[in-house]
Amino acid sequence: MILDSHQHFWNYEPVKHAWIDDTMNVIRQDFMPEMLKKEFDEYQIEGCIAVQADQNEAENEFLLNLAENNDFIKGIVGWVDLQSDSLEERLKYYDSQKKIKGFRHIVQAEKDPDFLLRKPFLAGISQLSNYNFTYDILVFPHQLGAVLEFVKKFPKQKFVIDHLAKPYIKDGFIEGWANQIKAIGACENVWCKLSGMITEADYKKWTYKDLDPYMNIVLEAFGPERILYGSDWPVCLVAGQYGEVLEVAKRFANSLSAQEQEQFWFKNAIEFYNLKQ
């Protein structure tokens, strides 16, 4: 059994999706469940976690509607204004929407490297555990210092690092990122998604050898019980096909025991995102 812990859907709009630059023009189109289902059928993927790509609550309703009509969408990571005075009211509402498992903010786009440590944001994060919501951390390596302080403030809150925190694979930089990732991995409330790697490497020339050192560090930092498989479809398509992303993960998983492979492929996602409900 395989669960894909990280993918997106959208109806492409040039202004709203301005982050899709000219180097990524292959994904300047709509990506909806029927397209992903073809991949899942081919590669025998059981289901997925749909993650927000737009920062408004209309995105949550969009994803909830897709999940209602597509059983393979097992959970949703949505968006909510964690600095809002009405946050508690919104969390109560989303607590009634059982497919909503947690939230994410696109912190990588924030100019303030210490955005995660702003008092209003911290106050919002402190409320998530009251509803058993998870939080996905989307950052660049230069923000990992703030991440370390951030996760230590909430030892009972479940966090997951998206895309290994986007290490500089293309440039071959690893040591600074590795030191920070290992420190964060020592916090037992933090998990990590093995996702988004090929788009941090050279789009046209990446090889498994380029990715292997980063995956090994994540395995060392988090252990097999706190890493999750994710494709980052359709963003991954700028650098390869779904099958290539899956093959990278399979080669990595070959070094794990049978029990550890089950954890990586689906059990960790079930546990982290509370998919047993």
Residue 276: what pLDDT? Answer: 76
The answer to whether the beta carbons of residues 207 and 192 sit under 8 Å apart is no
pLDDT-based confidence at residue 242 (cuts at 50, 70, 90): very high
Q: Please tell me whether residue 97 adopts helix, strand or coil conformation.
A: coil
Region of residue 44 (phi > 0: left; psi between -120 and 50: alpha; otherwise: beta): left
Least Cα distance to 272 among 233, 227, 215 occurs for: 227
Percent of the chain with pLDDT over 90: 96
- Helix, strand, coil abundance in the chain, percent, nearest 5: 50, 15, 35
Q: Which residues pair with 104 in a beta bridge?
A: 136
pTM over 0.85, yes/no: yes
Compute the mean pLDDT over every residue in the chain, rounded to the nearest whole number: 97
83-92 confidence digits (pLDDT tens): 999 999 999 9
**Mean pLDDT, rounded, for 213-224:** 98
CA distances to 34, 90, 119, 141, 265 from 260, in Å: 31, 37, 38, 27, 9
Which residue's entry shows tokens 């020339």? Answer: 205
13-31 confidence digits (pLDDT tens): 988 898 889 899 999 999 9
